[in-house]
């Protein structure tokens, strides 16, 4: 589903002795949530912590996508319909840069440490924190609006 957003902008025209501004409308397409084919991609997980987290998310019916790429950024585990990136924490400057780039593309980034995901209990507590984040983040969003088709409703 592609939604159109528009904004009013001004264009300044310069002539030999005078200049004036003309308004115009600029349309920008934004992509809605994407649907993905659910496959068992456990073998794409690079570490044991990622594999354990992948299995626990599958048990919670979340269906993550390992090694998902957005531009040149590779995400360890991605919950694509929710636009949540689960990434391993490496260094602060790199993580801040990646977070900024993904935020521009309307993704939420949650970090984890490999050592903390060694057991199933640690993974389940991390998953509970993901659910808490989703509840807080998405509680104020409106449900999707059903738009009427212009051509079928007016003729």
Q: Which sequence spans correspond to the domains of the chain?
A: 2-32, 42-138
Provide the pLDDT confidence category of residue 1 given band limits of 50, 70 and 90: very low
pTM score of the predicted model: 0.66
What separation in angstroms does the CA of 120 have from each of 24, 54, 59, 92, 130?
Answer: 56, 11, 11, 27, 15
How far, CA to CA in Å, does 30 sit from each of 3, 48, 91, 119, 126? 5, 36, 31, 39, 31
Of residues 133 and 141, the one with the higher pLDDT is 133
CATH number listed for the domain at residues 42-138: 3.40.960.10
Residue 113: band (very low, low, confident or very high) from pLDDT cuts 50, 70, 90: confident
Is residue 90 over pLDDT 80? yes
Percent of the chain with pLDDT over 90: 15
DSSP state of 17: S
Both tokens assigned to 50: 């990622």
User: In this predicted structure, what is the pLDDT of residue 155?
Assistant: 39
Residue-averaged pLDDT of the chain:
76
pLDDT per residue over 16-73, tens digit each?
666 666 666 656 655 555 667 778 888 888 888 888 889 889 888 888 999 999 888 9
pLDDT on residue 5: 56
**CA–CA separation, 73 and 124 (whole Å):** 26
The residue with greater pLDDT, 150 or 58, is 58
Distance CA 65, CA 116 (A): 20
Instruction: Specify whether the CB–CB gap between 56 and 123 falls below 8 A.
Output: yes
Mean pLDDT value of segment 124-131 = 88
Q: 112 has which bridge partners?
A: 88
At 13 the pLDDT is 61
């Amino acid at each position: 589903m592609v939604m159109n957003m528009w904004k009013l902008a001004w264009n300044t025209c310069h002539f030999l002795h005078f200049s004036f501004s003309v308004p115009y409308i600029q349309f920008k397409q934004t992509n809605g949530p994407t649907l993905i084919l659910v496959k068992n991609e456990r073998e794409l997980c690079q570490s044991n912590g990622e594999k354990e987290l992948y299995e626990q998310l599958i048990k919670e019916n979340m269906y993550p996508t390992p090694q998902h790429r957005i531009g040149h950024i590779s995400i360890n585990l991605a919950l694509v319909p929710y636009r949540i990136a689960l990434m391993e924490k490496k260094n602060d400057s790199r993580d801040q840069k990646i977070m900024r780039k993904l935020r521009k593309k309307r993704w939420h980034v949650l970090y984890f440490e490999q050592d903390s995901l060694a057991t199933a209990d640690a993974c389940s507590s991390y998953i509970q924190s993901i659910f808490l984040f989703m509840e807080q983040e998405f509680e104020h969003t409106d449900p999707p609006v059903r738009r009427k088709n212009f051509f079928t409703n007016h003729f």
